[in-house]
Structure 1
Amino acid sequence: MTFAESLKRLRHDNSLTQNELAEKLYISRQSISKWELNKSYPDIDKLILLSKIFDI
């Protein structure tokens, strides 16, 4: 499973929209979309925040 697939699954499992997740990460919704489309990847700081948000 790719990072993009994992992120999308985790977001859906936690009933979060792209916009809601973006707000928690202090970034744009477009960044979340790019991550989920496998067009870019988050930096290490955002990965750490994601792990805390999703408790993984």
Structure 2
Amino acid sequence: MRLNERLEKLRKDKGLSQEEVSNYLGVSRRTISKWEKGTSNPDLNNIVKLGELYNVSMDYILKGNGKEEVDINTENSEVKVEKKTKSKTWLMVLIIIFLFLLLAALIILMVNWYPREFMKVFN
């Protein structure tokens, strides 16, 4: 399948008109028609935008091979998971520090409190 055929197929598969695609890209409807007839080709910026619009890779648009559907949210999901992991790690560190400080405070209170009580008993 040639580039012009792929562009037309992708547009029709999404149920879009040439006018809708042209509005999205900021070009004329006639330009879209020329691309789909094969009399001209989109520039790199428009190929990137077409990939985003049709949710396919630039490689698929240009060559027709590669993974057709691109999961744009995969990277965002990985970043969210990484942030959650870091947040949980920091939360655990803070809880451990808090417990350590609480234990230290209790030990200090016991050392200072009980010797005085023992002195009262023996006097």
TM-score using structure 1 length: 0.97
- TM-superposed deviation, 1:52: 0.4
Deviation at 1:47, TM superposition (A): 0.4
2-structure distance, mates of 1:38, 1:16: 19
Q: How many residues align?
A: 56
- Whose relative contact order is higher, 1 or 2, with alpha carbons under 8 Å and at least 6 apart? 1
C-alpha RMSD of matched pairs (Å): 0.4
Give the 4+ runs in structure 1 shifted more than 4 A.
Answer: none
AA partner of residue 30 (structure 1): R
Shift in Å, 1:17: 0.4
Task: Determine the structure 2 residue equivalent to 1:4.
Answer: 4
* Number of the residue aligned with 1:39: 39
Q: Give, in angstroms, the shift of residue 10 of structure 1.
A: 0.6
Q: Which amino acid counterpart does residue 9 of structure 1 have in structure 2?
A: K
Q: Identical aligned pairs, as a percentage?
A: 38
SS in 2 for 1:35: helix
Which residue matches 1:19? 19
The structure having more radius of gyration, on CA atoms, is: 2
Deviation at 1:54, TM superposition (A): 0.5
> Cα deviations across residues 3-56 of structure 1 (Å, max 9, x unaligned)?
110010010010000000000000000000000000000100000000000111
Gaps of 5+ in 1: none
Secondary structure, in 3 states, of the residue corresponding to 1:27? coil
Which one has a larger percent helix, Structure 1 or Structure 2? 2
* 1:52 matched to 2:60: no
> Could you say which residue in structure 2 is the equivalent of 1:28?
28
